[in-house]
Amino acid sequence: MPMRQFSHTVTVDDTAARVGTGDLEVLATPRLIAWCERAAFDVCRASVEGDRTTVGTYVKFEHVKGSPVGAEVLVQCAEPISDGRRLVCFVSVTDAQGEDLGHGELHRAVVDAERFMSKCQRIA
């Protein structure tokens, strides 16, 4: 399965201590998931046309190893599998040495951007 790769360097702002999800100076799981979501969004762009876009709907992710400030993190995202309304991307995350940091599955719904936003405006 073809994979696209995205690279990030862990900064102090990416740590669990800074994000507020822990007290250690290691990559926060929510930040890592956000990087995976961004990768899935970028990869899915080629699968939608016109006024359509994708929105995240489901994340299943296992973060298996910590990463210190300064570490390079590589997010690999597979081309999406489509069921017509939903795109499913599988991601794997490694460090610069190729060691597994995490892996998971992200789902994105294909939506009409204007219609989606009009529904959001009614709620607000």
pLDDT tens, residue by residue, 76-93: 999 999 987 799 999 999
Mean pLDDT across 109-114? 93
Distance (Å) of CA 120 to CA 111, 113, 115, 116: 13, 11, 9, 6
13, pLDDT greater than 90: yes
